[in-house]
Amino acid sequence: MDHNDDFVSCCYTAFSDFRLWDAFHRLWAVGTILGQFRLVQAHARFRASRDEGDLDHLDNNPPYLGYLCADMEGYYQLFNDAKAEIEAVSAGRKPAEEAAARIHALINEREFARPMFGFGYCITGAKPQLNNSKYSLLPALKLLHWTQTSAPAEVKKYFDYNPMFALLKAYVTTRIGLALK
């Protein structure tokens, strides 16, 4: 529960400055994406085997229960580093703009996080002209390639069964279906 309180507290502080919120929201997105990889992998294994044992590990007390990515130490450390930046803003020890820049740098320093944002970076990031996060087929393929070739071990573990091909097939099928309507 402490993590949830920390998360909400960080959100409320981050709401005070767009740049800080943009940075914290990206941290949130990293955790969400990684957490989804973990869940999708378990679901894909279960769908293939129909063995509920493929789902059991999700409840076996992951080390960072409550965090968006409950079994990755790197995300745990990233979140807590970013939380320290936001707490410094809340306590008046650091300007929001400086903390936001540091959170962006923290994300960019993490090999497991950086490739997830090649699809657009909001106005406080490296490409201010891209004020969106459009995620389409080409970036999805690049992300898939990264997971199969050069992702760090802490991310690759989610792809030892490779649920992304099933997701990619569903995505492409849906897009083609919509285009043909």
Residue 117 to residues 65, 112, 133, Cα–Cα distance (Å): 25, 11, 8
Rounded CA separation 3/69 (Å): 12
Q: Which of 5-19, 114-128, 147-161 has the highest mean pLDDT?
A: 5-19
pLDDT on residue 124: 46
pLDDT at 58 over 80: yes
Q: What is the pLDDT of residues 84-133, one digit of tens each?
A: 999 999 999 999 999 999 999 999 899 888 766 554 444 445 555 444 55
pLDDT on residue 122: 45
| Residue corresponding to tokens 């389409």 | 136
pLDDT on residue 166: 66
The model's confidence at residue 178, banded by pLDDT at 50, 70 and 90, is confident
Rounded CA separation 140/171 (Å): 10
Rounded CA separation 45/150 (Å): 23
The model's confidence at residue 165, banded by pLDDT at 50, 70 and 90, is low
pTM, two decimal places: 0.77
